[in-house]
Amino acid sequence: MAGIAPPGGRAGHAVAVVAFDGVQLLDVTGPVEVFTTANRYGADYDVRVVSASGAGVATSSGLPIGVHAGPSGLPRRLGTLLVPGRTDWRSAVADTALVELVAGLSGRAGRVASVCAGAFLLAAAGLLDGRRAATHWELAPELATAYPAVRVEADPLFVRDGEVVTSAGVSAGIDLALSLVEEDWGADVARRTARHLVVFMARPGGQAQFGAGLTPGRPRHPSVRRVMDHVAGDPAGCHTLGSLAAVGGVSARHLGRLFRDELGLTPGQYVESVRLEAARRLLDDGTGTVEEVARRAGFGSSESLRRVFQHTLGVSPTAYRTRFRTTAGSRHLVSRPPAPAGTGVTEEAGALSARG
């Protein structure tokens, strides 16, 4: 990998990146690119990719990558141990040699970080017990179930708890690495690195804006099922606690108790979550103005919709629509006049490119 200091190279802040068969390619290369790019602007990272056997690995995409060494080829003390993940985390944590590698190297590192499903390997090594941790939003419930001693947070792009830092899915490893660069070498070095890589210094919002929203299991109690179906069928309807209780055929107090027991939500929170998902679908489809989306989804006004979006997703409805409706807005095409006839040059738009 270009830009990585070879074994025996200059001594700096030693970063060991664990590689193994099935590892997600960007989990490895994203942070490595951040650290090695930061060296152009004043950082001093000595980045080594390591596997348990010292042999190269096949990544999740099928692309093989080489490594610098096995664990014995690393510096005795590490500044950072970074553990990527693989979507099939069960296979990763079942690899005893891999878990032992992570546990052993963690004792030599000043701090430990993981990307995406790498959090499962940290948990298997006992490094997340009693700590807050993040992982990919789709895997967060599985991490919480498999390792109940871990306090899983599903929304943040990365979470720091002491000297352990865990990040969300795939590209969030870049956000994580930039935060570590800033911590080690200051905001200016991190900012220049981010600009060169054409990424946000701090990405707006959290993981919730990428997630699929609330998908509660089918409740056992028929009253709760009737109410859920009623709300889902008409998100913009007038859904007061009294009217929902009437739909369920129970008292308002009993309905609230049933919702908390079955879903962990109040009826009002469930109504808001359904309306939020309805608004997201309308924004994704490009249907109407934000004010119209708010009305059709049941929020009444764009200001009410904005407050819920900011509180729940960390972004405004307008920003959400810009990011998720289409890629066309990011092309920044430059119009050019038609070329003179006979020149053999076709009319085209030139895309602006960022230069380091």
Whether residue 251 has pLDDT greater than 90: yes
Q: Answer whether residue 5 is part of any domain.
A: no
The answer to whether 101 and 71 are in contact (CB under 8 A) is yes
Residues forming beta bridges with residue 161, ordered by sequence position:
164
Together in a domain, 75 and 205: yes
Q: Report helix, strand or coil for 323.
A: helix
Together in a domain, 61 and 85: yes
Together in a domain, 175 and 282: no
| CATH code: domain of residue 296 | 1.10.10.60
Q: Which domain holds residue 183?
A: 13-209
Whether residue 340 has pLDDT greater than 50: no
How far is residue 229 from each of residues 79, 110, 136, measured CA to CA in Å? 53, 52, 29
Q: Answer whether residue 226 is part of any domain.
A: yes
The answer to whether 174 and 199 are in contact (CB under 8 A) is yes
Q: What pLDDT, on a 0 to 100 scale, did the predictor assign at position 225?
A: 85
| CATH code: domain of residue 106 | 3.40.50.880
Q: Answer whether residue 4 is part of any domain.
A: no
Together in a domain, 145 and 287: no
Q: What pLDDT, on a 0 to 100 scale, did the predictor assign at position 261?
A: 85
Q: Answer whether residue 346 is part of any domain.
A: no
Q: What pLDDT, on a 0 to 100 scale, did the predictor assign at position 19?
A: 96
pLDDT band at 62 (very low <50, low <70, confident <90, very high): very high
Together in a domain, 265 and 293: yes
Q: Answer whether residue 103 is part of any domain.
A: yes
Q: What pLDDT, on a 0 to 100 scale, did the predictor assign at position 201?
A: 63
* Boundary residue ending a domain (182, 209, 236): 209
Percent of the chain with pLDDT over 70: 81
What are the pLDDT digits (tens) for 293-335? 888 888 888 888 888 887 777 777 877 776 655 444 444 433 3
Together in a domain, 260 and 199: no
Q: How many CB atoms lie under 10 A from the CB of residue 75?
A: 14
Residue with the two structure tokens 């891999």: 98
Q: Answer whether residue 353 is part of any domain.
A: no
Sign of the torsion angle spanned by Cα atoms 25, 26, 27, 29: positive
Give me the number of domains the chain comprises.
Answer: 2
Together in a domain, 170 and 227: no
Together in a domain, 35 and 161: yes
Is 351 exposed, middle or buried, given 0-12, 13-18 or 19+ CB atoms closer than 10 A? exposed
Whether residue 2 has pLDDT greater than 70: no
Together in a domain, 42 and 139: yes
What are the pLDDT digits (tens) for 177-226? 999 999 999 988 998 898 898 776 655 544 443 444 444 556 788 898 88
Q: Answer whether residue 214 is part of any domain.
A: no
Together in a domain, 317 and 202: no
Q: Answer whether residue 7 is part of any domain.
A: no
Together in a domain, 152 and 288: no
Whether residue 5 has pLDDT greater than 50: no
Q: What pLDDT, on a 0 to 100 scale, did the predictor assign at position 325?
A: 55
Q: What pLDDT, on a 0 to 100 scale, did the predictor assign at position 208?
A: 44
Together in a domain, 226 and 189: no
Q: What pLDDT, on a 0 to 100 scale, did the predictor assign at position 218?
A: 64
151 or 172, higher pLDDT:
151
What are the pLDDT digits (tens) for 153-183? 875 777 899 999 999 877 888 888 999 999 9
